[in-house]
């Protein structure tokens, strides 16, 4: 990033802050497109030892507050990554807060139920594999142990006297 330091605020290095600077962008187009000064905060995370650099246009909040906000925001990003990977939510069906919460809670409930099934039947397959198997057989009248082939044998469903069969001529 092509920028120059305009001002450096004093920081307490015992908190993990390395610097709190006001900067201006140097590039011809960048300085024309964004002439306002930015704030660059450098922070050394005491837990991981990594040096993190945060860039913001918020000049009023304390530097430690901004680092905490970015740290919490990263946790939100990791949560959404987990949702995409484990709950199979690729996009939200609705845009309202209630629709998003409902879809997430339904996916979490499904995930927990599959985890319970895995524990009860002492299955070695991953939760993702179990979800895939059950999603294929969701509309079939099959016992769960048969769908997951727990004992290696398929279980014949008892015939239901009240159920009509389309292909018995």
pLDDT at 23: 94
Computed over every residue of the chain, the mean pLDDT equals: 83
Shared-domain flag, residues 60 and 92: no
Q: Is the pTM of this model over 0.75?
A: no
Shared-domain flag, residues 61 and 91: no
Residue 78 lies in a domain: no
| H helical segments located in 54-126 | 63-86, 97-120
Name, in order, each residue with C-beta under 8 angstroms of 121's C-beta and a sequence gap of 6 or more. 144, 145, 148, 150
pLDDT at 154: 43
Residue 20 lies in a domain: yes
Of 65, 96, 114, the domain-final residue: 65
pLDDT digits (tens, 9 = 90+) for 24-67: 999 888 878 888 999 999 999 888 899 999 999 999 999 999 99
Name, in order, each residue with C-beta under 8 angstroms of 164's C-beta and a sequence gap of 6 or more. none
pLDDT at 66: 94
Residue 168 lies in a domain: no
Residue 14 lies in a domain: yes
Residues 36, 55 contacting (CB under 8 angstroms): no
pLDDT at 32: 83
Shared-domain flag, residues 17 and 47: yes
User: Considering its fold, how many domains does the chain have in total?
Assistant: 2
C-alpha to C-alpha distance for 158 and 137, rounded to whole angstroms: 18
Q: Which domain holds residue 38?
A: 3-65
Of 31, 65, 99, the domain-final residue: 65
Residues 92, 106 contacting (CB under 8 angstroms): no
pLDDT at 155: 41
Shared-domain flag, residues 59 and 17: yes
Ranges of the chain with pLDDT below 70: 149-169
Of 34, 65, 96, the domain-final residue: 65
Shared-domain flag, residues 101 and 134: yes
Residue 119 lies in a domain: yes
């Amino acid at each position: 990033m092509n920028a120059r330091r305009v001002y450096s605020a004093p920081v307490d290095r015992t908190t993990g802050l390395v610097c709190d600077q006001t900067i201006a962008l140097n590039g011809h187009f960048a300085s024309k497109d964004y002439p306002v000064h930015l704030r660059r905060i450098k922070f050394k995370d005491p837990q991981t030892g990594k040096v993190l650099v945060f860039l913001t246009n918020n000049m009023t909040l304390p530097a430690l507050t901004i680092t905490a906000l970015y740290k919490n925001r990263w946790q939100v990003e990791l949560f959404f990554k987990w949702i995409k990977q484990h709950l199979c939510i690729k996009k939200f069906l609705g845009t309202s807060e209630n629709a998003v919460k409902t879809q997430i809670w339904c996916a979490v409930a499904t995930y927990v139920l599959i985890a319970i099934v895995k524990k009860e039947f002492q299955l070695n397959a991953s939760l993702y594999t179990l979800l895939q198997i059950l999603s294929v057989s969701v509309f079939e009248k099959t016992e769960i142990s048969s769908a997951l082939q727990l004992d290696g044998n398929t279980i014949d469903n008892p015939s239901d006297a009240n159920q009509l069969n389309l292909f018995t001529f």
